[in-house]
Structure 1
Amino acid sequence: MAIDVTVLRVFTDPEGNYGNPLGVVDNSTVDPADRQRIATELGYSETIFIDFPEGGASTAHARIFTPAVELPFAGHPTVGASWWLREQGYAIKTLQVPAGIVQVIYDGDLTAVSARAEWAPDFAIYDLGSVDELMAADPADYSDDVEHYLWTWLDRSAGKIRSRMFATHLGVPEDEATGAAAVRITDYLSRDLDIVQGKGSMISTEWSPEGWVRVAGRVVSDGTKHID
């Protein structure tokens, strides 16, 4: 029987452009042994498998897979899943992933999650100094054993940066918008940020000295596809 996959784009601009594709699957419709296969076949940077809240609860559970591995936490799937759950009538307050409990906030057209900085991978972080150098970077020039986060200031005083992320070992040569990397760079710089990543995706963050980072963005749906 074919499995329904809702396809979202997470961290779009205000007009609904750009954003990182995400596959969303009702976990009750799949065998746990098939999760990695489905994520690999879909080929999105992540696919998230969701268990709906039970009995009026305000929390849901989820598992996250790249085309190659399972992740304990990722930003764009948790933001996207939280938005999707509200669209299904479940405006949750928390989302349980293997790394821990993610706090969920709905703020107008923004959906946000708050996560611990240490839940994000240890990205190799490069300040390339100019937008031209950043955009000229080639993923093939970076090693395939870690995630590489490239960034530069657009407006230092306003906390605006431009970025790209390469993660070949996760099956993602370049990620269009990376919530976990937004968590890391926000903690690294210890300040709130407005991030433009990839071709034009937009992520907003808020930094807390207690080690929490709030990651917010817009989400749109591109409909449903089916996979065997």
Structure 2
Amino acid sequence: MKRRFATVDVFTDRVFGGNPLAIVLDAEGLSSATMQAIAKEFNYSETTFVLPPADPANTANVRIFNPVMEMPFAGHPNVGTGFWLARQGEAFGRPLGDRLVFEELAGLVPITAIHHDGNVVGADVTAPKRLMRGETIPVDAIAACLGLDHGDIVTAFPPLARGLHVYVWDPDAATTGLDIHCRMFAPLDGIAEDPATGSANAALAALIASTRPPGDLVLRIAQGDAMGRPSRLRATVDPAGTVTIGGTCVVIAEGHLSID
């Protein structure tokens, strides 16, 4: 059976930038093991599988796999998949507008298409949950992973587990148009370094917002430059703590998988 797929670069406005994503359409009937094998075959940081929604009020059921495991939620897969479906203008025989809702393990994920000159060029994704603080990792362990000294790491915020997301503020933000430069390492997920990480930056934005008086926060974020895949993300946090992460995308390839 031939199953459609597309690959897109996410959080960029040019080919070979941003974070690559594979999107498998016609995913009905695929087992979880087969989905995992397909994700490993693409070997991107994530691959999505688009299935009919359980509730017809929603757009689709979307499952997300990295090379070694299924994920309940991730940022760049939702941005890229939302961009692709909104660009097609239909899903499962139904027309789509600018507002989409994906069913995922983490819950319902609202998505809004981004337009430029009448064309869909990207998507904004609202995180399905608000900030939750996890375990604290010893600073010495983090410094050893990054090849830094203990004193090089600012400990105002506790780091997150599993992946290691590190950032610095841009001292020339008024000139560069960027607030933060970051890098993400997730070797336990089969990802040595990720060029653009929507979920980690959404969590970072929520964490920064939690240290400030209530109000709207907007962060312009750069990632992937050290890898030669420059990525640009925009994170917003409203006074209620709701986080949105988004950016533009470009299509790289379309084709078919010959997989039953």
- Within a 5 Å distance, the mapping from 1:54-203 to structure 2 comes to 57-90=57-90, 91=96, 92-108=99-115, 109-118=121-130, 146-155=162-171, 160-190=179-209, 191-199=217-225, 200-203=230-233
Residue deviations 1:2-29, cap 9 Å, x none? 54431111101x4455110001002226
User: Please, which runs of 5 or more residues in structure 1 have no aligned partner?
Assistant: 126-136, 139-144
Work out whether residues 75 and 245 of structure 2, in 8 Å CA contact, stay in contact via their aligned partners in 1. Answer: yes
Name whichever structure is richer in strand by fraction: 1
Quick one: distance in 2 between partners of 1:84 and 1:120?
Answer: 30
User: Please, which runs of 5 or more residues in structure 2 have no aligned partner?
Assistant: 91-95, 116-120, 138-145, 148-160, 210-216
Q: Which amino acid aligns with 1:165?
A: M
TM-score, with normalisation over the residues of structure 2? 0.71
- Within a 5 Å distance, the mapping from 1:18-57 to structure 2 comes to 18-26=17-25, 27-28=27-28, 30-52=30-52, 57=57
Aligned length: 212
Work out whether residues 14 and 250 of structure 2, in 8 Å CA contact, stay in contact via their aligned partners in 1. Answer: no
Quick one: distance in 2 between partners of 1:206 and 1:76?
Answer: 15
Quick one: distance in 2 between partners of 1:101 and 1:63?
Answer: 12
By how many angstroms is 1:97 displaced? 0.9
Give the CA RMSD over aligned residues: 3.0
By how many angstroms is 1:175 displaced? 0.5
Identity %, equivalent residues = 33
Quick one: distance in 2 between partners of 1:222 and 1:177?
Answer: 17
